[in-house]
């Protein structure tokens, strides 16, 4: 299954995504691909401080298209819309693209990262969102089997949803703090996921300090499941994510039908991205 972490800046996306990757990796039956889709690269730092990796970026798309037998000028839209009979990206075995652009960090765990701003971005030849744009085709076209998990750590705020990348998730987890702006950002994100992209989501409340926080969240956030309430802690070793794992295992489809369907709907309306 493909799970994406979304939420306001600083809410705890990278911390929780890191914990989930570590937890899933402990079971040798699993294969885990962690994707850092944020240019600040905190997931990359948490999982592998040495940054020796081929970053996803504007050049990675050429190999991605080649591996699926598409011409390098083919639009992402056409790759996803015309997916009949095409090859898929796979984790077991790793296809050529996934192998080149991921780093093996343990026996069963791989890490991909959207890299720092490139010359093309700095010279205004492309928008920084273009660095991660290939995920819009990679995620829906990634074939996922049982015991294979992809954890995506996204950029902060609603911007990460506006890119359209979440159509490639089987489920989004929105990390929310019990603050006015935390809840506002979470609702902006959930509204788009529900009404525009039709992607399942659930909330995880993080950094809860007291009963007042709990009451506030319960009053304000009633439009989706709340998986768990995680307390503020000085030591992040005290954060437990078992409930989150149980929740996604109960609620998430692993066949990828929805992410492919929703990605096709999105691309029918927008063919520009290449």
- Residue 47 engages ligand ATP in binding (rule: CB under 6 A): no
Q: How many other CB atoms are found less than 10 A from the CB of residue 244?
A: 20
Q: Is the distance from CB of 67 to CB of 87 less than 8 angstroms?
A: yes
Burial tier of 263 (Cβ tally within 10 Å: 0-12, 13-18, 19+): buried
- Residue 51 engages ligand ATP in binding (rule: CB under 6 A): no
* CA separation for the pair 111, 14 (Å, rounded): 13
State CA 29 to chain mean position distance: 22
* Helix/strand/coil for 118: coil
User: Is 17 or 192 the residue whose CB approaches Mg ion more closely?
Assistant: 17
User: Is 140 or 166 the residue whose CB approaches ligand ATP more closely?
Assistant: 166
User: Is 38 or 170 the residue whose CB approaches ligand ATP more closely?
Assistant: 38
- Residue 181 engages ligand ATP in binding (rule: CB under 6 A): no
Residues 103-162 that bind ligand ATP (CB under 6 A): 156
User: Closest Cα partner for 154 from 137, 175, 180?
Assistant: 175
- Residue 182 engages ligand ATP in binding (rule: CB under 6 A): no
- Residue 11 engages ligand ATP in binding (rule: CB under 6 A): yes
- Residue 14 engages ligand ATP in binding (rule: CB under 6 A): yes
Q: Is the distance from CB of 112 to CB of 126 less than 8 angstroms?
A: no
Which option in ligand ATP, Mg ion, none does residue 109 bind, with CB closer than 5 to 8 A by kind?
none
Work out whether the CA dihedral 230, 231, 236, 239 comes out positive or negative. Answer: negative
Query: Applying CB under 6 A, which part among 7-15, 102-110, 111-119, 221-229 lies near ligand ATP?
Result: 7-15
Q: How far is the CB of 17 from Mg ion (least distance, A)?
A: 8
- Residue 42 engages Mg ion in binding (rule: CB under 5 A): yes
- Residue 13 engages ligand ATP in binding (rule: CB under 6 A): yes
User: Is 218 or 261 the residue whose CB approaches ligand ATP more closely?
Assistant: 218
Exposure pattern of 152-183 as b/e (b: 16+ CB <10 Å)?
bbbbbbbebbebbbbbbbbbbbbbbbbeeebb
Residues 203-222 that bind ligand ATP (CB under 6 A): 206-207
Q: Residues interacting with Mg ion, by CB under 5 A?
A: 13-14, 42
């Amino acid at each position: 299954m493909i799970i994406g972490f979304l939420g306001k800046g600083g809410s705890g996306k990278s911390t929780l995504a890191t914990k989930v990757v570590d937890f899933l990796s402990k079971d040798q039956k699993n294969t885990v691909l962690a994707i850092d889709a944020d240019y600040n690269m905190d997931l990359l730092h948490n999982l592998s401080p040495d940054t020796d990796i081929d970053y996803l970026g504007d050049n990675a798309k050429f190999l991605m298209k080649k591996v699926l037998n598409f011409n390098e000028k083919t639009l992402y839209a056409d790759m996803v819309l015309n997916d009949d009979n095409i090859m898929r990206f796979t984790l077991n075995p790793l296809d050529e693209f996934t192998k080149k652009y991921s780093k093996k960090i343990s026996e069963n765990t791989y890490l991909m990262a959207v890299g720092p701003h490139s010359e093309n971005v700095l010279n205004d030849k492309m928008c920084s969102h273009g660095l991660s744009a290939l995920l819009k085709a990679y995620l829906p076209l990634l074939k996922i089997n049982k015991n294979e998990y992809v954890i995506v750590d996204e950029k902060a705020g609603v911007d990460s949803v506006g890119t359209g990348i979440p159509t490639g998730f089987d489920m989004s987890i929105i990390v929310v703090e019990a603050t006015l702006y935390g809840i506002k950002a979470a609702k902006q994100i959930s509204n788009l996921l529900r009404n525009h992209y039709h992607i399942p989501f659930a909330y995880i409340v993080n950094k809860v300090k007291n009963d007042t926080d709990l009451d506030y969240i319960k009053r304000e956030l009633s439009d989706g499941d709340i998986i768990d309430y995680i307390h503020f802690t000085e030591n992040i070793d005290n954060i437990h994510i078992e409930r989150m794992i149980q929740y996604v295992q109960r609620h998430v489809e692993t066949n990828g039908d929805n992410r492919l369907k929703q990605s096709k709907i999105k691309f029918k309306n927008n063919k520009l991205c290449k």
